[in-house]
Amino acid sequence: MVVVLDGVGSGARDESDAVHLARTPTLDRLISRGPTCTLRAHGTAVGMPSDADMGNSEVGHNALGAGRVYDQGAKLVSRSIRERTLFSGATWNQVIAQVLDRSSALHFIGLLSDGNVHSHIDHLFALLREASRRGVSRLFVHVLTDGRDVPDGSALLYVDRLEAELRETGGKIASGGGRMLVTMDRYGADWNIVRRGFEAHVHGNARRFPSARAAIETFREETPGISDQFLPPFVIEENGQPVGPVHDGDAVIFFNFRGDRAIEISQAFEQGPDWGKFDRGRKPDVLYAGMMEYDGDFKIPRRFLVPPPAIERTMGEYLAENGVTQLAISETQKYGHVTYFWNGNRGGMINPALETYVEIPSDLVPFEERPWMKAAEITDKLIAELRTGRHKFARVNFANGDMVGHTGNRDAAIIAVECVDLALARLSREVTRLGGILIVTADHGNADEMYEHDKDGKVLRDKKSGQPVPKTSHTLNPVPFVISDPLGSHAEYRLDEAVLPQAGLAHVAATCLNLLGFERPEDEESSLLTFP
């Protein structure tokens, strides 16, 4: 069984490190007994453009499930812009042709930051410049503020950069809101998030302001300490009217490259009249495209600018071909990661006769207010499933370290990590009782660095209050990896010292296959184990 402690990295063990500060007797015990090491979970080790790019749950689970490193969305989009294949593609030219032929508007919706996890502001700028060069005069941008993959409170920096760009290319900011409250829901956790975005972006129905800056500053004045992630929806108006609602004949590009938080808004634009997730009111007839194809199995969206990575021959496929029964379980917030992303961005099961997928519904409350999330319920169901004896390979994701880590609340993150450790204690006992092997790892860091650091590695502090500056994004830290096999013999295998210096998440798949008694496919990353 593979346990993914989402967002639990190996940090500096300082005052910012909630993983270090948490009481984790189970994880500590497993690591002390080993075999154990750390794995690279960011940058080129997971297909990102450079080692300055943090990892994320999508690319982390892709690597864990595929056993190979694939160029991911950020890298693929940057390359397609640099080599101009995006602008010579059929979808881009359909978009341009439509708005020029109909004298209509081109709308861009997406996350406004350079976090490079869901989007990058430079990609948006490239699209705006090319559209302007091609003669598009009516350009509107609907901005989703970040504060999660970039420092919280930085929204105005990106808005100001965008406004400067729009002065050069033409165009206006039309609407916006915080990513966790507006538009970017995932896995059907809360369709009201998408509804708010659709109302603001399409219909111009939200609180109105003369500018995005005015909106953000007003929200901050009214609710001191409000996070960029949770800014309410807003609409920009001129002369008493929204500047950029979406009309029939317009074109809309969702410029995020990552799929999980792009699928639902894509469905809202593309699904027919029988679609019933929320009342869309007047649904305009537009040409809609995504930056990438967000779901290859269900073809969402129908048009896209850049082909996604073609991830093939995943571990799940290999095990299914060899008749191995599999269990995947998590709560809603990470359910798609142990299914869709683990299976190489494939919707649905590989072989329903051999697989069981379990989703535990997440709570719809702020994560820092309930940092235990659904760890206990996941564990209850997982243990019950293991006791059936049906599953030879199981995988589980505990979302706490990541989702609570993103709030920037260190004390809540400490509780989150401790709750996961309690669950791990129960699982460890059960897997041992059943004669199994437990692997514990993570997909990236987050809770391990809850405060920002300066270039010398010291915790940054606010100049006025002296308090540490919260960090809400992922980290560049490695993640733990440990095997617990108390009924086996560690003399039969050991960690391969030749592999460890550059070992990353993609090495986990072959390791699992070895422990299940299989040889790894030749084109997979090597196992972390050697068998003397």
pLDDT tens-digit profile of 313-342? Answer: 999 999 999 999 999 999 999 999 999 999
Strands, E assignment, 459-522: 479-484, 494-495
**Measured between alpha carbons, how far is 145 from 489 in angstroms, rounded to an integer?**
51
**Measured between alpha carbons, how far is 19 from 346 in angstroms, rounded to an integer?**
32
In the chain, CATH 3.40.1450.10 sits at: 74-306
Chain segment 486-497, per-residue pLDDT in tens: 888 666 899 999
Q: What is the mean pLDDT of residues 375-398?
A: 98
Tokens of 10: 């190996």
Residue from 57, 113, 266, 473 carrying the catalytic annotation: 57
**Measured between alpha carbons, how far is 41 from 10 in angstroms, rounded to an integer?**
11
Chain segment 444-485, per-residue pLDDT in tens: 999 999 999 998 999 999 988 999 999 999 999 999 999 999
For residue 347, what pLDDT is reported? 84
Whether 435 has a pLDDT exceeding 90, the answer reads yes
DSSP category for residue 396: E
Whether 208 has a pLDDT exceeding 70, the answer reads yes
Chain segment 74-101, per-residue pLDDT in tens: 999 999 999 999 999 999 999 999 999 9
Angle at 374 between CA 373 and CA 380, to 5 degrees: 150
**Measured between alpha carbons, how far is 167 from 169 in angstroms, rounded to an integer?**
6
Start-to-end Cα distance in the chain: 24
Q: What is the mean pLDDT of residues 154-159?
A: 98
Chain segment 13-50, per-residue pLDDT in tens: 999 999 999 999 999 999 999 899 999 999 999 999 89
The structure's pTM equals 0.85
Whether 51 has a pLDDT exceeding 80, the answer reads yes
In the chain, CATH 3.40.720.10 sits at: 2-70+312-530
| 3-state SS class at 116 | coil
| CATH number at 74-306 | 3.40.1450.10
Chain segment 136-153, per-residue pLDDT in tens: 999 999 999 999 999 999
Mean pLDDT of the chain: 96
For residue 195, what pLDDT is reported? 98
Instruction: Verify whether residue 484 is a known catalytic residue.
Output: no
Chain segment 101-139, per-residue pLDDT in tens: 999 999 999 999 999 999 999 999 999 999 999 999 999
Residue 297: pLDDT band with limits 50, 70, 90: confident
For residue 422, what pLDDT is reported? 98
| CATH number at 2-70+312-530 | 3.40.720.10
Whether 242 has a pLDDT exceeding 70, the answer reads yes
For residue 490, what pLDDT is reported? 63
Task: List the one residue out of 95, 116, 115, 120 whose CA is nearest residue 107.
Answer: 95
For residue 295, what pLDDT is reported? 85
**Measured between alpha carbons, how far is 295 from 345 in angstroms, rounded to an integer?**
7
